[in-house]
Structure 1
Amino acid sequence: MKNIILYMSLMLVFTQVQAQKDFQGMAVYESKTQAPKFEGMLGNRDITPEMQKNMEERMKKMLEKTFILNFDKSTSIYKEEEKLETPGQQGGFRIMAGLMGGGGTFYKDVKNKSYTIDKEFMGKEFLVVDSLPKLNWKLEQETKLIGGYTCYKATAVKEASKSDFRNFRPKNNDDKKPEEKKDDTKKTSGETKTNFEDNFEMPKEITVTAWYSPEIPINQGPENYWGLPGLILEINDGKTTILCSKIVLNAKEKVTIKPPTNGKVISQKDYDETVIKKMKEFREMNGGRAGGPPPMMGK
């Protein structure tokens, strides 16, 4: 009798270990970023209000994306859902999409605290390999339901990625001196062209608010977010909101979760510097014309 009980206990432990090993899930996220206003940014007088409105509508639609997160206990792949490219989204708009949080495969390994992303920028393939940023999360008691899951609030301050143009914020002119405001007025009037930097700036840090569910006890989330006692179902950084719309746990068909391998291996810092350098070179080649990052050019 004792042998039977021992056998059953061992089988139960084995089954639980195997279930943890085979655990896998999929989460669908809808990402929306507040589109920048082109008013005052475009120095070209040939651009009519109708053209400006059309550009803003295209930008808004381009900044609405759907992502799929496939995950197990320690690794995940976050990738934009493939869809047909719409007319007018070639060239510069496609480049902009990549710099606005789209494109590429984002692989995270929370056990080894590392990530790998394949990026294409101006015709070149890069493989960004680096350590996951460790955020000092502040756990709060506030809760809300997302898709039937009870989620808890957490906040953190993170360094803004210099190659992610979603992080650009309108400059706060309230603290400027009268003479500085007068100079800005001159820049946006007459024949003087307006540079993107005159209206926007990249902050050093941004505050993010996360909502995570301990009911799905994995240390994962969209993009490079991680480090909470539950799957992150929503992230907001003031400009971009990423919200989970669907969760499937332990589907019959398993997904292979492994890092991408194509591209020149580069650190995040070096990739950021490469993007900034190339964007600066392009602006100089085009006479410093306005239009914001990245340029809306054709290939």
Structure 2
Amino acid sequence: MKKLFLLLIFISSLSFSQEFQGKAFYMSKINVDKSWMDNPRYASRKGYMEEMLKKNTEKNYVLEFTSTESSYSEKEKIDVGESGGYNWMATYIGDNIGKLYKNVQEKIAINETEMMGKFFLVTDPLEASKWKMTGESKKIGQYTCFKATYQKEVQERVFSFGSQNQNQNNIKTKMVEVSAWFTPDIPVSTGPSWYQGLPGLILEVNDDNTTILCTKIVMNPSEKSKIKRPKRGKVISNDDFVVLQDQKRQEAREMWQKMRRSGGNRSFTRN
């Protein structure tokens, strides 16, 4: 089975030139706990909050790729009508992907992202995930895809909003399984968001409360564009950016408390 699978990948790769280019369009959705909005006290703001949640948890992205490089960015920027242009909910539950550049030859990833009006170049080496092939296959559109999984440990942060436990962040660790469906029909080792390292383009990802699905692929578009390495912002490692992000999420939490000081206990769960 393994030899047949490797042969399939090899045959697929022969049909592509080294200079091919493509675009893949993805729909991403983050599931969050919305039970707190059922509190009658927030009925007047429920519609607005539901709209903000939807705009910050359901997004469309485009991945431009060649055999060695890729660039992943949001297709349409969010406009949530926040005064001053500050989208505190995006800081709180968003993935903070601005323009994510990956280079498999140099084994580097650079995420040009904005937070609190400042730009950062979050730079990290591309590390191979310990993918395991399951032997499962299915069709996504016209492409035959194979399933791969790996386990990872994550911190689950539950932030409470309201009058109770306002200064406490309960941090728990849990194991989650990441599953990806990739197609050797497009032999590039990349995919949406940070996912990569498989012998074919990743078309679907399920990662705990996040689902990403490819909706359209255009190979060798008539108008080719050069994939550019991001250059705007302060260079920072991903570990340092996570610390900074947690600080800003705490600030967003405090801002929420000021906005909704009237009571209740609400929470978002987000990895």
| TM-score using structure 2 length | 0.78
Structure 2: tracts of 5 or more residues without a match: 1-12
1:105 counterpart = 2:99:
yes
Match of 1:35 in 2: 32
Structure 1: tracts of 5 or more residues without a match: 1-15, 163-167, 172-186, 295-299
Match of 2:205 in 1: 235
Contact 1:209-1:236 within 8 A present in 2 as well? yes
CA separation of 1:66/1:279 partners in 2, compared to 1, >3 Å: closer, same or farther? Answer: closer
Once superposed, what is the RMSD of the aligned Cα atoms? 3.5
Structure 2 CA distance for aligned equivalents of residues 34 and 219 of structure 1: 27
Structure 1 CA distance for aligned equivalents of residues 226 and 131 of structure 2: 30
Match of 2:8 in 1: none
Structure 2 CA distance for aligned equivalents of residues 55 and 286 of structure 1: 12
Match of 2:181 in 1: 211
CA separation of 1:35/1:46 partners in 2, compared to 1, >3 Å: closer, same or farther? Answer: same
Match of 2:89 in 1: 96
The DSSP-based 3-state class of the residue aligned with 1:21 is coil
CA separation of 1:46/1:140 partners in 2, compared to 1, >3 Å: closer, same or farther? Answer: closer
Q: 1:218 Cα deviation (Å)?
A: 1.1
Q: 1:115 Cα deviation (Å)?
A: 0.2
Percent sequence identity over matched residues?
A: 40
Match of 1:193 in 2: 164
CA separation of 1:35/1:277 partners in 2, compared to 1, >3 Å: closer, same or farther? Answer: closer
- The structure with the largest alpha-carbon Rg is 1
Contact 1:195-1:292 within 8 A present in 2 as well? no
CA separation of 1:286/1:226 partners in 2, compared to 1, >3 Å: closer, same or farther? Answer: closer
The DSSP-based 3-state class of the residue aligned with 2:63 is strand
Q: Deviations 1:151-205 (Å, cap 9, x if unpaired)?
A: 1111112354x7xxxxx5769xxxxxxxxxxxxxxx99xx94354967x756454
Aligned residue runs from structure 1 range 43-122, under 5 A: 47-52=41-46, 54-83=48-77, 85-88=79-82, 91-92=85-86, 94-97=87-90, 100-101=94-95, 103-122=97-116
Aligned residue runs from structure 1 range 163-174, under 5 A: 168=156
User: Which segment drifts farther, 273-282 or 61-70?
Assistant: 273-282
Count of residue correspondences: 250
Opposite residue 48 of structure 1, the aligned amino acid is Y
Q: Deviations 1:91-128 (Å, cap 9, x if unpaired)?
A: 45x24335512551000011221100111111221111
| TM-score using structure 1 length | 0.71
Contact 1:68-1:79 within 8 A present in 2 as well? yes
Opposite residue 124 of structure 1, the aligned amino acid is K
CA separation of 1:46/1:67 partners in 2, compared to 1, >3 Å: closer, same or farther? Answer: same
Contact 1:127-1:266 within 8 A present in 2 as well? yes
Contact 2:88-2:252 within 8 A present in 1 as well? no
1:20 counterpart = 2:17:
yes
1:135 counterpart = 2:129:
yes
